[in-house]
């Protein structure tokens, strides 16, 4: 059912927090209002909460509209008005303090609000920003006027000198270029500044030597040369060179892919040589599983 059908007899009103409430009853002895707060109201369902709020959470105008102000005692009305005046006085006091914290406009009287670029474009600039960028002291003297003139003369707009956006680069990498040409084929390659700094310790001669002798992945024989053949994937360990990748089961005759390290561990548990295990290998279906020792649970 619709919320207006259920709570149509209860007058709606808003509190100071912007909540939509429905008036039920006023209790003058405790100065509280009983009301409904409708959480969800649709054609098919409705969810509401019965609650009690103090009169201080509702404005005086709303209290008069729902008929609560007339039912309040004179002492309660006086206390309500004093509380409202105290809140307003606190807000005004805070605004005055905020105005005092701001610098008076007289200090910025000699600061220009606009700067003209040599290209003819006029940019507006706040006095506080101008003071910070020109390193001023807000004292109208000859020294400060000279600083203002120097800043205006050296100013360039964003179109003449585009500003770099985003995070600034680490100052430790200032001598490391972002990209270098391959010393063999001339291809322009992006390099990792952090890796170069760790390798060269940030020394300029070592960085120059690294950039002059840099080889791209295609021209570097010590990087990725094993990928140029048919074999791809992770390079195997030196001790696994020549180790068979598959072995034939003596039971069913099926070829099983094996891992060298696992075969060595299995041969060690069975107390046989690797050659003997490969010659008499059995798959899991043919009973080639080596049972592990069960650990006893600690009581």
The DSSP string of the chain is --HHHHSTTSPEEE-TT--EEEEEEEETTTTEEEEEEEEEE-SS-EEEEEEEEEGGGS-HHHHHHTT-GGGS-HHHHHHHHHHHHHHHHHHHHHHHHHHHHSPPGGGGTTS-SEEE-TTS-EEE--HHHHHHHHT--S--SHHHHHHHHHHHHH---TTTSPPPPSSPPPGGGTTS-SEEE-TTT--EEE--HHHHHHHHTT-HHHHHHHHHT---TTT-TTSSGGGGSS--SSPPPGGGTT--SEEE-TTT--EEE--HHHHHHHHHHHTS-HHHHHHT---TTTT---PPPPPPPP-
Instruction: Indicate the pLDDT class of residue 220, thresholds 50, 70 and 90.
Output: confident
**Quick one: average pLDDT of 52-68?**
90
Q: Write down the pLDDT at residue 149.
A: 92
Taking only the tens place, the pLDDT of each residue in 264-274 is 998 888 889 98
Instruction: Indicate the pLDDT class of residue 102, thresholds 50, 70 and 90.
Output: low
Burial (0-12, 13-18, 19+ Cβ within 10 Å), 297: exposed
Taking only the tens place, the pLDDT of each residue in 19-42 is 888 999 999 999 999 998 888 755
Q: Write down the pLDDT at residue 117.
A: 92
Asked if pLDDT for residue 230 goes beyond 50, the answer is no
Asked if pLDDT for residue 6 goes beyond 80, the answer is no
Q: Write down the pLDDT at residue 232.
A: 54
Output the average pLDDT for the chain.
85
Top-ranked range on mean pLDDT: pick from 106-110, 156-160, 165-169, 222-226: 156-160
Per cent of the chain over pLDDT 70 is 88
**Quick one: average pLDDT of 195-209?**
91
Taking only the tens place, the pLDDT of each residue in 129-142 is 999 999 988 888 89
Q: Write down the pLDDT at residue 233.
A: 57
Asked if pLDDT for residue 293 goes beyond 90, the answer is no
Residue 139 near residue 148, CB atoms below 8 Å:
no
Domain boundaries, the chain: 3-76, 105-154, 175-212, 240-279
Q: Write down the pLDDT at residue 236.
A: 72
């Amino acid at each position: 059912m619709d919320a207006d059908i259920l709570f149509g007899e209860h007058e709606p009103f808003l509190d100071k927090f912007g909540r939509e409430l429905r008036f039920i009853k006023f209790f003058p002895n405790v100065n509280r209002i009983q009301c409904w707060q409708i959480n969800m109201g649709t054609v098919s369902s409705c969810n509401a909460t019965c609650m009690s709020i103090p009169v201080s959470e509702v404005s005086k105008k709303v209290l008069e509209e729902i008929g609560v102000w007339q039912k309040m005692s004179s002492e309660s009305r006086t206390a309500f008005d004093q509380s409202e005046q105290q809140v307003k006085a606190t807000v005004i006091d805070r605004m005055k303090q905020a105005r005092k914290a701001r610098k008076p406009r007289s200090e910025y009287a000699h600061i220009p609000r606009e700067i003209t670029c040599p290209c003819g474009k006029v940019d507006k600039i706040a006095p506080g920003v101008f003071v910070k960028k020109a390193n001023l002291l807000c004292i109208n003297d000859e020294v400060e006027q000279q600083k203002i003139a120097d800043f205006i003369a050296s100013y360039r707009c964003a179109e003449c000198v585009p500003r770099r956006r985003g995070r600034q680069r680490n100052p430790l990498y200032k001598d490391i270029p972002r990209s270098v040409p391959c010393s063999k084929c001339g291809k322009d390659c992006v390099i990792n500044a952090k890796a170069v700094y760790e390798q060269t310790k940030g020394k300029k001669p070592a960085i120059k030597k690294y950039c002059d002798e840099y080889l791209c992945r295609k021209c570097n024989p010590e990087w990725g040369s094993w990928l140029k053949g048919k074999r791809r994937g992770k390079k195997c360990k030196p001790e696994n060179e020549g180790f068979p990748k598959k072995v034939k089961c003596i039971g069913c005759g099926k070829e099983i892919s094996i891992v060298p390290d696992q075969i060595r561990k299995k041969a060690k548990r069975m107390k046989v040589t690797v050659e003997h295990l490969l010659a008499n290998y059995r798959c899991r279906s043919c009973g080639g599983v080596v049972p592990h020792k069960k650990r006893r649970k600690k009581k």
